[in-house]
Structure 1
Amino acid sequence: MLEVLDEYGKVPLPPYIQHAAEKSDESRYQTVYAKYPGAVAAPTAGLHFTDELLQQIRDKGCEEVFVTLHVGAGTFQPVRVENLSEHIMHSEWYSISPEAAEKINKAKAEGRRVVCVGTTSLRTVEASASQNPEGKVRAESADTRLFIKPGYEFKVCDAMVTNFHLPKSTLVMLVSALCGRDEILAAYKHAVDEKYRFFSYGDACFLEKKVNQ
């Protein structure tokens, strides 16, 4: 089946990209560290990272950890309710290896920052930690419907790299939960004023968790 899909299938570009998938999208819409098939969309914050950049990050003493989340089509769905408690969050499958869980928990115990690349990585580690009374990441494979919105208490993530997201989306709510709604609105206004590029093939930003959050 996978061989047939590879031969005849097209890259599943997001619905807001108007042009049909081109040959170049097979490499452009894929991270250099992608390993396991299953997602219906790329974790687009990772598109900014090249092998050379990853090596530069390692050379600066940063430790990298890889986790897996299969992005679902629901990631593109807007929130259509006024009361967020009525929103039905889409389910996504994630997997964290024993080595990854150990490294993440060790970093937190030592007071080092955990920087997530993309909302997918953030949702993965927070989904795992939210199921643990101690707030630690566990080695596991599971489905999650975790809806991260303002008021959420972060257990793992201290900062993140992410693109600029669609309005009225759960992803905008996620970054607002991390940094504060007013801060995100100000950042997005700056991005619009300066003509930054939004969405999957767009620019990235570095966001830090709001102090005392």
Structure 2
Amino acid sequence: MRTADFDFELPPELIADEPARPRDAARLLEVQCGALADRHVRDLPGLLMPGDLLVYNDTRVIPARLTGKRGEVRVEATLHKREGADTWHVFAKPGKRLRVGDTIVFASDLSAEVMEKRETGDIALRFSVAGADLMAALHRHGVMPLPPYIHRPDGASAKDADDYQTVFAAREGAVAAPTAGLHFTPELLTRLDERGIRRVPVTLHVGAGTFLPVKVDDIRDHRMHAEWGEISEDTARAIRDTRRAGGRIVSIGTTSLRLLETAAADDGTIGPFSGDTDIFITPGFRFKAVDLLLTNFHLPRSTLFMLVSAFAGMERMRAAYAHAISSGYRFYSYGDTSLIGRAP
């Protein structure tokens, strides 16, 4: 298939710069059984059934964007995947001018050496501190790496540091939020509990590669950046028990879905998992683990629009997105959301 097959006209004013307040006041487009219905996130308990299981991503976004100097040259580095206690893969600007062995000084207590320049366009940096000391240095000197389509001329604000974390955020390591989870509030979780809808965590540390455009004409030539994920035995058991009891698996976001589908056996069974995934889901993919997907509205020609088109069918999603655009739904990280049923 061609990347152009996933193109559509998106008015730029529909890309949200701020989240809905309260978070569960965001609009929700229900896309099930061939019909579309305009809802709100606060309606979610009534759209699910007792015995359904929500699977959420508990990753926490770190202040992963650093600014430093190599000599007199200003360098911006966005961390996207941890490779060791002191080593990260990063996207750097200007990356082409960096050489293996160069040192970038970010602060008096933080520098890094260029260890590798990779074919995928990123570089490996080994930092002068490691582990908890490196994380503490990021909190002192780094900033929240907001997506490029959220306009902040002066960088992320203090409010973004809260707005861009989900209520589930627990395990530090992501450089982008699992944005479907941004819609949840403690009040909504209480109502889901009262409805008999349980939830379990997985972890996928979302990388900055999630923002990269698809630059190839043939989608088979696109390569995803790997991200680290983990599914515990407790979560895997809860998923298996839900299946046996006839409940549905509801993925909160594409990050949870990609991890579940990575770990699923051919018969759909989920076991514990820990490791990297670079799964690229496009039409024709056979889903084995997820029945319903809560996900925000994605950009044209993006891997995420390809994923939802695979999950629900291309024509169905084209119709849903046409309705969303004509109805003024807000798109992407701070935007509105949709609840999508898997195509038969």
User: What are the equivalent positions in structure 2 for 1:122-201 lying under 5 Å apart?
Assistant: 122-129=257-264, 132-201=265-334
Report deviation, 1:201. Answer: 0.4
Report deviation, 1:141. Answer: 0.8
Q: 1:59 pairs with 194, 200, 205, which one?
A: 194
Is 1:74 matched up with 2:209?
Answer: yes
CA distance in 1, matches of 2:143, 2:302: 25
Whether the 8 Å contact between 1:108 and 1:156 is mirrored in structure 2 is: no
Whether the 8 Å contact between 2:250 and 2:293 is mirrored in structure 1 is: yes
- State the one-letter code of the partner of 1:56: R
User: What are the equivalent positions in structure 2 for 1:38-53 lying under 5 Å apart?
Assistant: 38-53=173-188
Report deviation, 1:161. Answer: 0.7
Report deviation, 1:79. Answer: 1.6
- 4+ aligned runs moved over 3 Å, structure 1: none
SS in 1 for 2:199: coil
| Identical amino acids, percent of aligned pairs | 50
- State the one-letter code of the partner of 2:307: L
More helix by share: 1
The alignment yields a C-alpha RMSD, in angstroms, of: 1.1
Whether the 8 Å contact between 2:232 and 2:272 is mirrored in structure 1 is: yes
Whether the 8 Å contact between 2:204 and 2:256 is mirrored in structure 1 is: yes
Q: TM (normalized to structure 1)?
A: 0.95
Structure 1 gap ranges (5+): none
Matched residue count: 209
Which residue is equivalent to 2:234?
Answer: 99
Which residue is equivalent to 2:40?
Answer: none
Larger radius of gyration: 2
RCO higher in structure (CA 8 A, sep ≥6): 2
CA distance in 1, matches of 2:240, 2:202: 14
Structure 2 gap ranges (5+): 1-133
Whether the 8 Å contact between 1:166 and 1:172 is mirrored in structure 2 is: yes
